[in-house]
Amino acid sequence: MTDDTVTSGRQIPGREEAIATLFYACYPQLVATGYGVSGDWAVAEELAQEAFVRLWRRWRWLRDPEAAPAYLHRTVVNLGNSAIQRRVLERRVTAFRGGQPVEAGPEASMELQQAIGALSPRKRACVVLRYLVGMTEAQTAQALGITPGTVKSQTHKALRQLRQQLAEPVAAEHTRAAEAEG
């Protein structure tokens, strides 16, 4: 008995082949997307794997197989955002109970990753898909289920916010250096 039979009661022709092809074509980008959203490579791999499991389960309801890569990216972004929300909640609960906050991994200490993590989920998703994964505005819009205009505006706002956040430590360092010289 195959997994198809166990899960759905009937075979779904072509599902395994199509998903295997998608896996080889999309997995590295999905992991990069997951890393951009979560800041953790292990979590990123789990997000990508879970996206494929969900696609496998929902394959028969997929109207257009060409939309599968967008479905996978949207799933990774949504799962990543949920993971972040869980981590934030866990840290708040830990702090509330008087415990020490959970320490982040070494990736989270990187300035850029912190700045990306401070973005709203939609802005973060747009920046990750556009610049870390390399999707076009249209592909990003399809993956997130929003309009290309929204992708443009959210990306513009996110980049402006990133510039401001990343410029602040540089400006503070220049101020300290000038004061030390004076």
Residues 59-81 pLDDT 10s = 888 888 888 999 999 999 988 87
**CATH number of the domain residue 77 falls in:** 1.20.140.160
Provide the 8-state DSSP code for 131. Answer: I
81 close to 121: Cβ distance less than 8 angstroms: yes
Pairwise pLDDT comparison (134 vs 22), residue with the higher score: 22
Give the range of the structural domain holding residue 25, as residue numbers without chain letter: 3-181
Number of domains in the chain: 1
Task: Determine the pLDDT at residue 69.
Answer: 94
What pTM was estimated for this model as a whole? 0.56
Band of the pLDDT at 53, cuts 50, 70, 90?
very high
Q: What share of the chain is helix, strand, coil (3-state, %, to 5)?
A: 80, 0, 20
pLDDT in tens, 17-29: 999 999 999 999 9
Confidence band, pLDDT 50/70/90 cuts, at residue 91 = low
